[in-house]
Amino acid sequence: GWYGYGGPKVAPDRPLGYDPPLCWIPRYLDNSSGGEVWVPRDRWGALAGQLLHLSYGRCQTMLVLRDIVEGQPQGAIVPMKGRFLSGIMRGRFRPQDGHLYLTGLKGWVTSALRDGCLQRVRYTGEKLSMPVAFHAHRNGLRLTFSEPLDRALANDADNYGLEQWTYLYAAEYGSKEYSARRPGVEGHDAVELRRATLLEDGRTVFLEIPDLKPVMQFQVQYNLADKEGATVGGRLIATLNRLGPVFDPTGK
């Protein structure tokens, strides 16, 4: 696809001037990307078959969640726990033991502590306590977590914080963060959450969001707990290229 080296090139089949990427990543979460690696389909529990993003700049990994609406891919990233000694560039799963091996280096604009690293990540089977799927609808977002959630906390809209923003797509390097509602104005937009509903599976939350529109960056911060009372907190940042049909959380 055409993702913009040299700036936008508008064409009849490319009205934005570029092909929408799977997911934009805010600079404060990854200022320089290293690569990606697929989790094997028979490994790592709820992360089996998922895509991991490797950050050189921030020395960490992120889970990439994928959604397809009417043939248009879009994604969301969820930062994962743990930092590495160097900027992570490449990762491989070793078939013999199922562990992830990562290599990194230190150069420019990175939070790396060491000149290089070779580190291993093992799946222990303990709780992940994080979103493992998302779906965008015209009236809100569905987030599925790795463990069943405390219903009272998940249904409390005060336990979520929503905001959105966009970038100036141009030939110049980088962009500030701009309001999606007020073009040219720097900053983020607060987003109203009308209602939060934990669905029957106990792991999926539907966030009802009035007037939701496609946007480069949409952030959901959550402060929840699982059914055993352990904290489930963090953030998910999505790129909404297209919105699916209206979702009814009652199942009617």
Residues 108-129: pLDDT tens digits? 899 999 999 999 999 999 999 9
pLDDT (0 to 100) of residue 21: 92
Distance CA 44, CA 31 (A): 27
Q: What pTM did the predictor assign?
A: 0.94
Residue 3: name the closest of 12, 16, 174 by CA. Answer: 16
> What residues contact residue 97 under an 8 Å CB cut-off, 6+ apart?
none
Please give the single-letter amino acid code of residue 5: Y
Average per-residue pLDDT in the chain?
95
Q: What angle do CA 226, 231, 232 make, to 5 degrees?
A: 70
Residues 178-220: pLDDT tens digits? 999 999 999 999 999 999 999 999 999 999 999 899 999 999 9
Residues 44-75: pLDDT tens digits? 999 999 999 999 999 999 999 999 999 999 99
Burial of 183: CB neighbours in 10 Å, binned 0-12, 13-18, 19+: exposed
Distance CA 159, CA 222 (A): 6
